[in-house]
A and B are shown apart, each in its own frame.
Chain A
Amino acid sequence: SQTIHQWPATLVQPVGSPLSLECTVEGTSNPNLYWYRQAAGRGLQLLFYSVGIGQISSEVPQNLSASRPQDRQFILSSKKLLLSDSGFYLCAWSVAETQYFGPGTRLLVL
């Protein structure tokens, strides 16, 4: 069966520091991969998605970037974090119409 991992689970970072969040999927090949952000008590906002290695589509211009160095690995990065980058980050995968989500990363920028 397929599983999706995200780490770290929680992260506290100072403003201006770099960021790297990692997501990996097991048990499937050539998945579509997604990064979402969720503010407290709100819906999800799609940040990036990828349909293959090295193929990244950005949905919202911002301080973040994404990369897909391997088929089942998706990385969310920033060179310099802003206070507004705080939130809950969810990775998801799909091979058909349904997206399945990872456990998420809580990011607090101070």
Chain B
Amino acid sequence: AQTVTQSQPEMSVQEAETVTLSCTYDTSESDYYLFWYKQPPSRQMILVIRQEAYKQQNATENRFSVNFQKAAKSFSLKISDSQLGDAAMYFCAYRSRLWVRLTFGEGTQLTVNP
């Protein structure tokens, strides 16, 4: 079974600085998708970024980018120029190409200090 591990329960960053959130996963499959979701205090899950495993190029969405290391099964999220609105719980998630279920990590609570 696939598992997703986020080893940092909490992280903090100064406004305008850069922070990296870690995620590792375990799978025997070669074709899959990886996601980062953000959950602000409202608790609605918001998609931040998506990576397809067969693509070597790291995904980027404005200030958010990933470092996808397929061999190491690592999928970290980098937030540049952190803003107060980035404060939230961040979840890493895995989805096999074959199955519809998403497997989530336990989350990293990000605090942004002014």
Contact = CB atoms under 8 A, between A and B. Distances in A.
Chain A complexes with chain B: yes
B47 A98 contact: yes
A22 to B, nearest CB: 17
- Band of interface residues on A: 20 to 34
Contacts of B52: 97
Interface in A32-47: 32, 34, 38, 41-44, 46
A26 interface: no
Contact of A98 (B35, B105, B107): B35
A101 interface: yes
Given A88-B43, A97-B33, A102-B44, A49 B100 contact: yes
Interface of B: 33, 35, 37, 42-47, 50, 52, 89, 91, 95, 97, 100-102, 104-107
